[in-house]
Structure 1
């Protein structure tokens, strides 16, 4: 099992400004993947980060708050021999029950949360989730419509003073919109220095119940590893990302 060490350091923007939660080493870190619209790759990001965490030796579980149940459906086709990652599927409207079930799973170190598309269905519960989060990752595509939505959502997260960062997801780096997207996001909040490119292996991993870290020779492995390392640092957790 990986040794987890607190390495949190002050950083710029939302990292620095967010009020820290009361540290409790007996409680798992909560990593929320949330976006202002559907199609941003939240579920893809959630499952791949959870797989990386499990292979890094962390005791990790996921919570599926999305009524579309994309994450839960991925678990349904996950091979029996794959590393076990418990999952709790409960609607966002019953957030307290979701957290209770997750923490009842045992001595967890990390909970990765997948949220519904958009943020308007249960605004009170979504705000409560943000306040519970140790860090919020906001995945987004590089199109103008994607950016408008997530920039507005990030503004709300920052008003709540929650530590957070954008992640460019399913990207095409050769397109002019990629550099424009990076510039726009940097102006609106913190941006993960690693993006996840649009690879066929990402799509296939959903169909076969695996993460890219579990697929031999999968494209996108280094991309996801970079985002995982970034997220663990933001959470104050030092783990090996070798997979």
Structure 2
């Protein structure tokens, strides 16, 4: 049986797209799944994280990695699904053609959005893209600040926006926590470097929620 393809997409930069892709990939690997990540973002941040991981862990990364661009994306991803249970694509924020290919290839588009007006407004094109390609979309409210009344109001607005666009909003919210960045600098995930933290719990809960969607 071919693996599931999850494309992490967001046309606005700085939403935590690559951070989410890396952490989810490790969470699924730790759950016993064969996982590959695909970096098609020209910035190559996921590739740099993977190389750091490879160096830090003496090559024992626990996941596969491919860096590709352009029209080869769909073919390469389909090949990876024959060898893996899950393939995670980190898509580019602004290159519409490549982002469209990544979305089209997916079983589910995961869209991180921060609870801010600018981020919420900038998310609509990604929601529209998923709807045009007839791919289910899951909004993940990311980098949620602690104890912020404004965040609560914006989360409600984001939920309404998602519903109006045919998307689902993840029950699991991911907080704005320093452990995420600290783990990436080490080529790791919070589930490895900060296991007994709320950050690790959030990633594990989100990873399970996505898998349970089928």
Paired residue total: 205
Which residue number corresponds to residue 46 of structure 2? 71
Q: CA deviation at 1:219?
A: 4.2
Q: CA deviation at 1:101?
A: 6.0
- 1:128-167 equivalences under 5 Å are 128-167=101-140
Maintained 8 Å contact 2:71/2:101: no
Which aligned segments of 4 or more residues in structure 1 are displaced greater than 4 angstroms? none
Higher relative contact order (CA 8 A, sep 6+): 1
1:33 matched to 2:11? The reply is no
- State TM-score, norm by structure 2: 0.88
Which residue number corresponds to residue 30 of structure 2? 55
Q: CA deviation at 1:224?
A: 0.8
Any unmatched runs of 5+ in structure 2? 163-167
Which residue number corresponds to residue 210 of structure 2? 231
Distance 2:117 2:41 in 1: 24
Any unmatched runs of 5+ in structure 1? 1-24, 237-243
Distance 1:72 1:37 in 2: 20
- State TM-score, norm by structure 1: 0.78
Distance 1:93 1:134 in 2: 18
Q: 1:46 aligns with which of 21, 24, 49?
A: 21
Q: Deviations over 1:100-129 (max 9, x none)?
A: 6635xx6211101101123xx242x43333
Instruction: Please identify which structure carries the higher helix content.
Output: 2
Maintained 8 Å contact 1:171/1:198: yes
